[in-house]
Amino acid sequence: MDSIKIVKIDNLIIIGVLTTGHQLLNPRVVEATPVGNGNMAIKFLQFFGAPKVIDFDPAKYSLMYEPTDEGMITAYREAVTGLTLAKKMPDNVVALGVKSIQ
């Protein structure tokens, strides 16, 4: 199964969907800027030419992990899709196939 990974290759930190093989789909360079109190502001930057996939040599990365921070994962998905993802379903919306209990 494909999963979102953060990979450090040389001096770049890249986030993307790791496929079987050594490819990252929808890669973004992670730019972190200190904002005080130990916090960081994170931006996801596209590569020049906006590639849909990049290949990398597994011998070249020095770090790879799967992020668990939901805020970071959501921000990455929003950067890739260009959409703002819903954080909570509105109270007046009922999911299909689910009955509302009054």
CATH of the domain at 32: 2.30.30.100
Quick one: average pLDDT of 33-54? 91
Say if 88 falls within a structural domain: no
Say if 25 falls within a structural domain: yes
Range of the domain at 65: 3-81
**What pLDDT, on a 0 to 100 scale, did the predictor assign at position 59?**
85
Q: Write out the H or E segment, with its range, that includes residue 45.
A: strand 39-45
Say if 23 falls within a structural domain: yes
Q: 0.95 exceeded by the pTM?
A: no
**Which residue did the predictor score with more confidence, 45 or 102?**
45
Cα 36 from chain centroid (whole Å): 23
Q: What b/e sequence results for 58-75 when a residue is b if at least 16 CB atoms lie within 10 Å of its CB, and e otherwise?
A: eeebeeeeeeeeeebeeb
Q: Domains in the chain: how many in total? A: 1
Say if 94 falls within a structural domain: no
Say if 57 falls within a structural domain: yes
Say if 33 falls within a structural domain: yes
Say if 95 falls within a structural domain: no
